[in-house]
Amino acid sequence: IKHLRSAADLDAATATLILDTAGEMAALAGREVKKLPTLRGRTVVNLFYEDSTRTRISFEAAAKRLSADVINFSAKGSSVSKGESLKDTALTLQAMGADAVVIRHPASGAPHRLAQWVDGSVVNAGDGTHEHPTQALLDAYTMRSRLGRIDGLKVAIVGDVLHSRVARSNVLLLTTLGAEVTLVGPPTLIPVDIAAALSKTTKVSYDLDSVLPEMDVVMMLRVQTERMQDSYFPSAREYSRRYGLDGPRMRRLPEHAIVMHPGPMNRGMEITPEVADSSRSTIVEQVANGVSARMAVLYLLLGGKA
């Protein structure tokens, strides 16, 4: 594949190749091999129109560990504030010889448009409420490294599914890899048509307590208060009471089950500090795995091996 715009770009074989390659990248880092010469002379542009901590830093770290030249572009402080369009910005990057453009944008579909204007590879680093495919890859990598497989895993994705690009990409990727996904949350935040459109095998539940004892993985989503209308979200206290993951709820999970969160977290809203900082939590591990997963994506896309 040339671009990674959606988790739907990945069939099971390609996704597995990326996860295996991420494993090789992590093993090299574990053996103190800090840098590989693979992408020497190639240019990766990080084009961020929306705030990011984890994704931006890990793409930069990933490209540098592969010896690529990295250009970091943030819309704040650029000519975007003077009204320059995405297309003109893309053509400027094209003129500078970008081999890959990693884009985060508030508009769903922006990476698809960008791919029509640049010759290099386009990687979606989060577009609106649409998708975040490299987050899904690092999440799948984390599940596989903790639990040994993805096929047959029971995964609950909990909370604000309506606004979550992480949920959409995870449903697509995890079902491609054979996991059974259940979306859990208040009805206003899980439109059934979204679940049905994402995957025929995805289930929906409005009762977190009843699904927890069955799960291998529970992935908590950030409540996106900035995208919320009153009609979707009546009260933070009521939300936490019914859908927040606290210590007693966590203890309903099977012994081996893990707790994930893509970050940033609303501690005390969708997850308590006791759970976020517990030994079941993979939240910090997910961040570390993000570098290996993004190295694998850049390596395979730019090397033409995926």
Task: Return the structure tokens found at 33.
Answer: 């091999």
Residue 106 in the binding site for ligand CP (CB under 6 A): no
Residue 128 in the binding site for ligand CP (CB under 6 A): no
Residue 54 in the binding site for ligand CP (CB under 6 A): yes
Residues 6+ apart with CB under 8 A from 282: 142, 146, 258, 259, 260
Q: Which is nearer to ligand CP, 55 or 176 (CB)?
A: 55
Contacting residue, 43, 129, 135, 272, with ligand CP by CB under 6 A? 135
Pairing mode, if any, of strands 154-158 and 43-48? unpaired
Which of the ranges 21-29, 69-77, 144-152, 259-267 carries the binding residues for ligand CP, by CB under 6 A?
A: 259-267
Which of the ranges 2-10, 115-123, 147-155, 262-270 carries the binding residues for ligand CP, by CB under 6 A?
A: 262-270
Q: Which is nearer to ligand CP, 43 or 124 (CB)?
A: 124
CA distance 75 to 135: 22
Residues 6+ apart with CB under 8 A from 23: 141, 145, 292
Residue 74 in the binding site for ligand CP (CB under 6 A): no
Residues 6+ apart with CB under 8 A from 190: 161, 162, 183, 184, 204, 206
Q: How many CB atoms lie under 10 A from the CB of residue 251?
A: 11
Residue 126 in the binding site for ligand CP (CB under 6 A): yes
Q: Using CB under 6 A, count the residues that bind ligand CP.
A: 10
Residue 159 in the binding site for ligand CP (CB under 6 A): no
Residue 52 in the binding site for ligand CP (CB under 6 A): yes
CA distance 303 to 40: 11
CA 244 to chain CA centroid, nearest Å: 21
Task: Report whether 168 belongs to an annotated binding site.
Answer: no
Residues 6+ apart with CB under 8 A from 11: 176
Residue 262 in the binding site for ligand CP (CB under 6 A): yes
Which of the ranges 18-26, 50-58, 244-252, 268-276 carries the binding residues for ligand CP, by CB under 6 A?
A: 50-58
Task: Report whether 132 belongs to an annotated binding site.
Answer: yes
CB 184 within 8 A of CB 206: yes
Q: Which is nearer to ligand CP, 180 or 281 (CB)?
A: 281
Q: Which is nearer to ligand CP, 111 or 126 (CB)?
A: 126
Torsion of CA 69, 71, 72, 73, to 10 degrees: -160
Burial 36-51 (b: 16+ CB within 10 A, else e): eeebeebbbbbbbbbe
Task: Report whether 202 belongs to an annotated binding site.
Answer: no
Q: Which is nearer to ligand CP, 52 or 205 (CB)?
A: 52
Residue 111 in the binding site for ligand CP (CB under 6 A): no
Binding residues, by number, are 54-55, 82, 104, 132, 135, 165, 222, 263-264
Q: What are the residues binding ligand CP (CB under 6 A)? A: 52-55, 126, 132, 135, 262-264
